[in-house]
Amino acid sequence: MGYDRPDDHPYPDDLAPLLADHVFPALPAGSRAFDVDAIRGCFPALSNGTAYFDGPGGSQTPTVVADAIRDALLRPLSNRGNTTIAARNAEEIVVQCRLALGDLLNADPDEVIFGRSMTALTFDLARTLSAQWRAGDEIVVTRLDHDANVRPWVIAAAAAGAIVRWVDFDPATSELPVQNVEAQLSARTRVVAVTAASNLIGTMPDVRAIAALTHAAGALLYVDGVHYTAHHAVNFRNLGADFFGCSPYKFLGPHCGVVVGKRDVLAELRPDKLLPATDRVPERFEHGTLPYELMAGTTAAVDFLTAMTSSAGTRRDRLVASMSALGHHEDTLRQRIEAGLHQLPGVTIHSRARQRTPTLLITFAGRDAAEISAVLAQNGINAPAGSFYAYEASRRLGLGEAGGVRVGLAPYNIADEVDRLIRLLAENVR
């Protein structure tokens, strides 16, 4: 592997080149379309033959991401600063990670808040935002969202005496119409929390339209982009959201969370913080010492996504091109799964929205989803069953806690795996 390791490179006096173009040895350079075989070669976990359709829960990890984490830890590393190489390495990791996430999401590096998980960051931001709420203020949440973008707001509202307004989706179409959000807005609305894509059924609401309505009502928009970011290029500047959360472990990176927030909105907020900790944005939103190794891994994941295809321009340009090729790859496979499922008796696909990610929630007449998922697992196919913390959505679909089998796609999935999945289901749902 070409990644420069500490053992074959003496440490330079200036900043070590922690992450550079050469982190993708397994993907040949030059003009390159989306080459799924080359991409698969970068994931050691695929070597056991397992078909991973559990990407929406967490993706597999390419070697370069693991290497970046390892190298960050094995190089000289200390708290951030500029006096020693160790301090400068830490500083450089943070700078590079904010730049990478800025490119990934089309946000400014100083709008990037790094944290333990999207859930933890959302709890923190809900507490901070709700400090400004008064009794009788209103917040808007949806029944489509993962609970990480519901409960923090509901809990904060209860503490502030604010009213919770619920936006419903249509189980028949899987759609969350913009009008349903509009109907819950008022002059008292302070925050609207909505997903960019459902991790249960893939629905992608029209976030831009929701942002316009939210702002017209004088409220802030908090978008859960955890599921969306794994499948589409995000354009935070263009989206109109005030906050957008994502989780690197869903897009080939390590287990951590990120929220970007508009600079002028962040400037107004006063999160709880330690007295000696900096008051700068975004650092004042990041409690304690940053996880440098996870930040290095996150940068490597962004670079890996960027390098899935080869095109010209800035990293942002190349990333957008790469994500578009990924979208085409995943869409083709999704259609193949759907065509196969439609041939099977007693199968219901609950993912029906016009705009959706390649994430299919499936139930089987007279069969437990968990039982089907276990059969798949015994045959080397990972497609778990459940409601996946989309607590309200699963209930709204009438599926309760049991939910369904979720088949989700990631960059490394291939047609052969889809065919194995359909064959196995055909043998088991007759």
Among 75, 80, 143, 146, binds ligand PLP (CB under 6 A): 146
Verify binding: residue 16, ligand PLP, rule CB under 6 A: no
Q: Which of 161, 101, 107 is nearest to 130 (CA)?
A: 161
Nearer to ligand PLP, 88 or 250 (CB): 250
Among 39, 118, 333, 361, binds ligand PLP (CB under 6 A): 118
253 and 43 Cβ atoms separated by less than 8 Å? no
What DSSP assignment string belongs to 141-207? Answer: EESSS-GGGTHHHHHHHHHHTPEEEEEP--TTT----HHHHHTT--TTEEEEEEESS-TTT-B---H
Nearer to ligand PLP, 116 or 316 (CB): 116
d(CA 67, CA 400): 41
Tokens 């276990």, residue located: 374
Verify binding: residue 142, ligand PLP, rule CB under 6 A: no
Verify binding: residue 117, ligand PLP, rule CB under 6 A: yes
Verify binding: residue 50, ligand PLP, rule CB under 6 A: no
Nearer to ligand PLP, 62 or 408 (CB): 408
Verify binding: residue 148, ligand PLP, rule CB under 6 A: yes
Verify binding: residue 286, ligand PLP, rule CB under 6 A: no
Please tell me the chain's helix, strand, coil percentages from 3-state DSSP, rounded to the nearest 5.
45, 15, 40
Verify binding: residue 394, ligand PLP, rule CB under 6 A: no
Considering only the stretches 113-121, 319-327, 340-348, 397-405, report the one whose residues sit in contact with ligand PLP under the rule CB under 6 A: 113-121
**Angle in degrees, 0-180, between the axes of helices 85-105 and 315-342, rounded to the nearest 10:** 60
Tokens 């990791």, residue located: 93
- Residues 66, 70, 73, 75, CA torsion sign: negative
Verify binding: residue 350, ligand PLP, rule CB under 6 A: no
Nearer to ligand PLP, 58 or 340 (CB): 58
Residues 6+ apart with CB under 8 A from 47: none
Interface mask toward ligand PLP for 199-228; x: CB under 6 A: x------------------------x-xx-
We find the least distance from the C-beta atom of residue 54 to ligand PLP, in angstroms, to be 11
Give the interface with ligand PLP as residue ranges (CB under 6 A): 117-119, 146, 148, 195, 199, 224, 226-227, 247, 257, 389
